[in-house]
């Protein structure tokens, strides 16, 4: 199964689960307040946001007052609550007198809970998933001080003055105890400086304007990594490395007689050599030193991959959580992630470093968030984060989203004046058009990026 298909299946599974749970949140509170739910659908049974176009479902079954179904348009889902202006735009029902079981007949605070139900469920889902992850696997991290060989840097990091082997001391003079928090600290706080130890003395690296934008734009996540020895993870079949006889778990210690210790040194050595020239790679294999000879290809690509799993080289710390502690950690971590995502979203509008055209993405960008190799822990961590994304996005005050309805309800609760159904209909229409435009723009950016490659 290809990596792209694995990513697509993970995206489908995660979104299907989270959409169902989000809509169940609305459904649950509607039932608590004795409000009739006419439809409960995963995906849309019409061409969103046009409720009158291509109306059909792949599956549907009526139980009680509710029709449960699977729509054909896989970009969301919905519950149709009686007496409510929503994406179904059922104006005929709204022209009839209000009934006791309808949404519009309920008290404002009850309608508020019904509208917040999906967001509440997404937050609770993230908490539950994080609690499960911390309870089962604990929390493993690399203390910054345990990256004993310092960092290895990509060309972007080199351009601002960082060097391979530097040891990060602090970001804007603020110590960062966990290695994987260094780059987020730079991004979220729009850091100006990095303090590093180099050749036994501390130096300050100024972060030029535009660096954060470049980090966010890059999809490689290689700005800085812990510096590691070069151990071969795997070798591509029929590649130059395969013909030379390189094998997984070989530790490379020299190239053409020049000793090396780290992965970044290998890349630098390789750039010095002429394409199609002979190359000799010395490795340690099963405690034996072996020299392998071959020819460097025209593109200088040997066809082998390094094992960059830092847990094999450095002492990591693992925090274990019992059931109660895991629940507490799931709760606190969820709100940490909510804050992080909100900061990311806010940066699109407030930061000079971030451009919407480079940061926004559609369904393809969502899919690329998932690993091409399935791993339960990675899948669950990302599913929990996507649940947070759905919660935050739905809370935005845009008519057609939950947050838009919440704004009208808060206005009603504060002023004592109910917004008319006609105003709600018009606002919802405008909101749905805005959402359609945003959806087309985001997915259009994805398509542009694919062709740009």
Secondary structure (H, E, C), 224-263: EEECCCCEEEEECCCCHHHHHCCCCCCEEEEECCEECCCH
DSSP 272-314: HSPTT-EEEEEEEETTEEEEEEEE--TT----EEE---GGGTS
With a pLDDT cut of 70, the percent of the chain lying above it is 92
Q: How much is the pLDDT for 442?
A: 67
In which band, very low, low, confident or very high, does the pLDDT at 446 lie, cut at 50, 70 and 90? low
Place of tokens 């040194």: 265
> Alpha helix locations (H) across 351-420?
356-359, 363-368, 376-394, 402-415
pLDDT computed for residue 299 by the predictor: 81
What is the per-residue pLDDT across 292-304, written as a single tens digit (0 to 9) for each?
998 888 887 888 8
Phi/psi for 269 (5° steps) reads: -65, -40
This prediction's pTM: 0.84
Q: How many CA atoms lie within 13 A of 295 on its CB side?
A: 5
Those residues whose C-beta lies under 8 Å from the C-beta of residue 297, and which sit 6 or more positions away, are 240, 275, 276
pLDDT (0 to 100) of residue 93 = 64
For the chain, give the mean pLDDT.
Answer: 87
Strands 73-81 and 304-306: unpaired
Q: Which residue has the higher pLDDT, 402 or 128?
A: 128
Sheet holding 57-63, edge to edge: 57-63, 66-71, 37-44, 73-81
Residue with tokens 């007949």: 105
Q: 């608590």: which residue's tokens?
A: 32
> Which pLDDT band holds residue 443 (cuts at 50, 70, 90)?
low
Q: Which residue has the higher pLDDT, 275 or 176?
A: 176
Residue 229: pLDDT band (50, 70, 90) is very high
| Confidence grade of residue 1 (pLDDT, cut at 50, 70, 90) | low
Mean pLDDT along residues 101-122: 94
pLDDT at residue number 90: 57
Give the pLDDT of residue 153: 92
Lateral strand order in the sheet of 167-171: 174-175, 167-171, 193-198, 201-206
What sign for the dihedral angle of Cα 446, 447, 449, 450? positive
Q: Which of 223, 432, 445, 450 is nearest to 355 (CA)?
A: 445
> pLDDT tens across 315-374, in order?
999 999 999 999 999 999 999 999 988 888 887 777 777 776 666 767 777 677 788 888
**Is the preceding peptide bond at 49 cis, omega within 30 degrees of 0?**
yes
- What's the confidence (pLDDT) of residue 400? 77
Structural domains in the chain, CATH included, are: 3-134+382-452 (no CATH), 144-226 (2.30.42), 232-304 (2.30.42.10)
Phi and psi dihedrals of 328, rounded to 5?
-60, -40
The whole-number pLDDT of residue 228 equals 92
Nearest Cα to Cα of residue 368 among 204, 249, 244, 218: 218
User: 61 or 273: which carries more pLDDT confidence?
Assistant: 61
Name the residue with higher pLDDT: 122 or 302. Answer: 122
Among the ranges given (256-260, 273-277, 282-286), the one the predictor scored with the smallest mean pLDDT: 273-277
Contacts (Cβ under 8 Å, ≥6 apart) of 201: none
Rounded to whole angstroms, how far apart are CA atoms 361 and 295? 42
């Amino acid at each position: 199964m290809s990596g792209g298909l694995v990513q697509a299946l993970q995206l489908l599974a995660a979104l299907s689960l989270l959409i169902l749970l989000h809509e169940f949140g609305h459904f649950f509170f509607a039932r608590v307040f004795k409000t009739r739910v006419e439809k409960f659908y995963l995906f849309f049974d019409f061409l969103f946001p046009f409720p009158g176009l291509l109306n059909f479902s792949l599956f549907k079954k009526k139980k009680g007052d509710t029709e449960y179904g699977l729509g054909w348009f896989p970009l969301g889902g919905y519950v149709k609550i009686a007496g409510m202006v929503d994406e179904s735009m059922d104006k005929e029902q709204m022209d009839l007198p209000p009934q006791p079981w309808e949404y519009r007949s309920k008290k404002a605070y009850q309608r508020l809970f019904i509208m917040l139900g999906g967001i509440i469920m997404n937050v609770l889902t993230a908490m539950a998933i994080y609690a499960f992850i911390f309870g089962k696997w604990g929390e493993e991290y690399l203390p910054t001080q345990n990256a004993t060989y310092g960092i290895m840097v990509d060309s972007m990091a080199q351009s601002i003055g960082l060097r391979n082997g530097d040891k990060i001391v602090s970001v804007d003079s603020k110590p960062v105890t966990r290695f994987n928090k260094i780059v987020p600290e730079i991004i979220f706080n729009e850091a100006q400086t990095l303090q590093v130890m180099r050749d036994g003395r501390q130096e300050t690296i100024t972060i030029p304007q535009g660096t954060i934008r470049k980090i966010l734009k890059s999809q490689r996540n290689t700005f800085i990594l812990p510096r590691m020895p070069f151990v071969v993870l795997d070798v591509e079949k029929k590649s130059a490395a395969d013909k030379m006889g390189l094998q997984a778990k070989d530790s490379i210690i020299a190239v053409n007689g020049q000793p090396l210790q780290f992965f970044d040194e290998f890349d630098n050595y390789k750039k010095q050599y002429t394409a199609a020239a002979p190359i000799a790679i010395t490795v340690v294999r099963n405690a034996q030193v072996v020299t392998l000879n071959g020819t460097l290809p025209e593109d200088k690509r040997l066809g082998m991959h390094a094992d960059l799993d830092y847990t094999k080289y450095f002492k990591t710390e693992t925090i274990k959580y019992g059931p109660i502690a895991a629940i507490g950690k799931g709760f606190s971590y969820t709100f940490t992630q909510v804050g992080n995502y909100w900061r990311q979203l806010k940066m699109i509008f407030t930061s000079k470093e971030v451009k919407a055209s480079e940061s926004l993405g559609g369904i393809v960008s969502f899919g690329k968030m998932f690993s091409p190799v399935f791993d339960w822990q990675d899948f669950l961590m990302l599913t929990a984060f996507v649940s947070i994304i759905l919660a935050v996005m739905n809370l935005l005050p845009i008519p057609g989203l939950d947050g838009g309805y919440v704004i009208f309800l808060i206005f009603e609760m504060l002023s004592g004046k109910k917004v008319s159904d006609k105003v709600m209909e018009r606002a919802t229409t405008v909101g749905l058009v805005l959402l359609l435009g945003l959806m087309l723009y985001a997915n259009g950016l994805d398509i542009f990026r694919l062709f740009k490659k």
